[in-house]
Structure 1
Amino acid sequence: MTTPSVDEETPLIQQHQYLQLQSQMNRKDVYAKWSIIAGLALFVSLVVSVLVRIPFNVFTFHPLFMTTFIVLVTEGISLLQPTATEIEKKQGLRHHAIIQTTSYLSAISGFSFIFYNKVISGKHHFESFHGKMGLFVFIYLFVQLIFGVSMALLPKQIFGSVDKAKSTWKYHRVFGYILLLLVWITAQLGVRADYMYNNLYSPHLVWLHWVSLVLVFDEWAFGVYQKFLQDKSVESLLRLQRERVAVVATMKLE
């Protein structure tokens, strides 16, 4: 009795489907990238249009550094979405670490200047909802930074092993998505503060901030969904390949 042949087409079909999905995602990644860039450019333009109309003082440094922080933290998170191969993941993580560290330094600078401005002006701290949200985001950002640094630099010391540290990456990623949402909510509150709103070239332009938010989050959320589909596709392909190897091994034993 002849040994039945292994179905060679199943993994090949699955691989072909994965490659098709990957090709579609690459095209959509380009659209997502430019949508995020357009949203950030619009947001920065609106903030700068206000800053050039007001006297340069200590307060000016707060929106300058915080706008830099928003651009960096958004790019630092979004650049991880298209990664698929191990090389891309390593490059993405390295760039992510550099950009997020720089963004945190910008946040510290922006936070320090507004705190100092309140001190020299004799005003109370964290009275507005924007101020309270800003403080919460600042603390959240610090915890997220420590979490990421611990996984990357001290996996064995903190988590017991590299594998255990890698298993917590998904939580760091989810908390990062939440952080980005909170950052943009805080930013939207900030651009509507009296000092910023009253110095817009026209109060009607404030609706453009909603446009920038949609441009960033519409494609960013789609990128997250793409990442989910991509991970599932890779897992499915690897599972089929493992099953095929197991079947071949069993047949050889028989």
Structure 2
Amino acid sequence: MPALASSTTPERSDPEAEPLTLDPDTPTIETLDMGFDEQFVKPEGRPGDVAAQWAAYISVGVFLLTTWIMTLSNNPTSLGLFFFHPILQSLSIAMFTYGILTLQPTSQAKTKAAGLTRHQLAMIALGVPAICLGTLAIVWRKSMSEHPHFTTWHGTIGIISIAWMVVQVALGGASVWFGGRLFGGNPRAKLVWKYHRLSGYLLFPLFLLAAHLGGAWSSWSTANSAFVVRLLAFTVSPIVLLAAILVRVRTSKMQFF
């Protein structure tokens, strides 16, 4: 007589303990529940996530559009290389915002992989080149005009953010590319990724602070926009954006101990 099947269900592994990227031959979806998980992706959102996402997109949209309208409507041909600074820096913050939002809710292997692809496209393919070119434009312009560099909090915080970003991108890429081999593979690479995530949440407010100082208080901005415009676009919008990002944070993805 055949033995009865055990009624004990294997304990499910914590999805946040799994690597962000897996070997192509490694099964990423459990075969329990008669194949249900193989056909459907479970909902990952929490109450308030959708509202926070909309708040983030609207606030960064106000910031981006206001910056572009101000730049394009104030004799842009006379700005020289400075023209590219607000245009590209604001674009990069919009890309960073999308890159963060698209990866925040993911907790399953399938959605993690798709989210990581979108995250890297937004961050590395668009955001990082934009902010580097925007920074180069203002540095080059000041050098050509023989003006001193980093004489304001806007410039100082901005260059600190750029330097931090370079390290951030290097650690993040090394922790997921080629299975995290640079750090000895998983789980070490997974731990580095957690620090990369935490570092990103600390770096993003620094970018927003630099944007606030430049947009709300720089001599060019104050001369070319009304106070209420600067208040809404460069003070209120960054605060709403940061709050929306933080509301969607999954602290379970940053358990270090």
- Tell me the TM-score range normalised by the shorter chain: 0.7 to 0.9
The answer to whether the 8 Å contact 1:44/1:67 transfers is: yes
Tell me the CA shift for residue 24 of structure 1. Answer: 8.8
Residue in 2 that maps onto 1:95: 118
Deviates more, 1:210-219 or 1:178-187: 210-219
CA 7–162 in structure 1, closer or farther in 2 if over 3 Å, else same? closer
The question of 1:216 aligning with 2:236 is answered: no
The answer to whether the 8 Å contact 1:53/1:199 transfers is: no
Counterpart code for 2:60: L
The question of 1:83 aligning with 2:128 is answered: no
What are the superposed Cα offsets for residues 136-156 of structure 1, whole Å, 9 maximum, x if unpaired? 111101000110111122455
The answer to whether the 8 Å contact 1:65/1:107 transfers is: yes
% identical aligned pairs: 26
The question of 1:53 aligning with 2:76 is answered: no
The answer to whether the 8 Å contact 2:194/2:254 transfers is: no
The question of 1:73 aligning with 2:93 is answered: no
Provide the C-alpha distance between the structure 1 equivalents of 2:119 and 2:73, rounded to a whole number of angstroms: 34
The answer to whether the 8 Å contact 1:38/1:215 transfers is: no
Residue in 2 that maps onto 1:32: 52
What are the superposed Cα offsets for residues 38-85 of structure 1, whole Å, 9 maximum, x if unpaired? 101111122123213322221011111101111011111122111121
Query: What secondary structure, in the 3-state scheme, does the structure 1 residue paired with 2:248 have?
Result: helix
Provide the C-alpha distance between the structure 2 equivalents of 1:190 and 1:182, rounded to a whole number of angstroms: 12
Choose which of 201, 222, 225 in structure 2 pairs with 1:197. Answer: 222
Residue in 1 that maps onto 2:17: none
The question of 1:176 aligning with 2:200 is answered: yes
Tell me the CA shift for residue 26 of structure 1. Answer: 4.6
CA 24–100 in structure 1, closer or farther in 2 if over 3 Å, else same? closer
Q: How many residues matched? A: 213
Deviates more, 1:39-48 or 1:27-36: 27-36
Query: What secondary structure, in the 3-state scheme, does the structure 1 residue paired with 2:48 have?
Result: helix
TM, length-normalised to structure 2: 0.76
What are the superposed Cα offsets for residues 74-120 of structure 1, whole Å, 9 maximum, x if unpaired? 11112211112111111111111111112110011101100111022
CA 126–142 in structure 1, closer or farther in 2 if over 3 Å, else same? same
What are the superposed Cα offsets for residues 7-50 of structure 1, whole Å, 9 maximum, x if unpaired? 99xx9xxxxxxxxxx86935532212211111011111221232
Residue in 2 that maps onto 1:150: 174
Provide the C-alpha distance between the structure 1 equivalents of 2:48 and 2:180, rounded to a whole number of angstroms: 38
Counterpart code for 2:202: I
Deviates more, 1:50-59 or 1:185-194: 50-59
Provide the C-alpha distance between the structure 2 equivalents of 1:169 and 1:120, rounded to a whole number of angstroms: 40
Query: What secondary structure, in the 3-state scheme, does the structure 2 residue paired with 1:79 have?
Result: helix
TM, length-normalised to structure 1: 0.76
Provide the C-alpha distance between the structure 2 equivalents of 1:147 and 1:40, rounded to a whole number of angstroms: 26
CA 80–156 in structure 1, closer or farther in 2 if over 3 Å, else same? closer
What are the superposed Cα offsets for residues 212-238 of structure 1, whole Å, 9 maximum, x if unpaired? 1232122211101xx236899xxxxxx
Gaps of 5+ in 2: 1-5, 13-41
Q: Which has the higher contact order (CA 8 A, sep 6+)?
A: 1
Residue in 2 that maps onto 1:105: 129
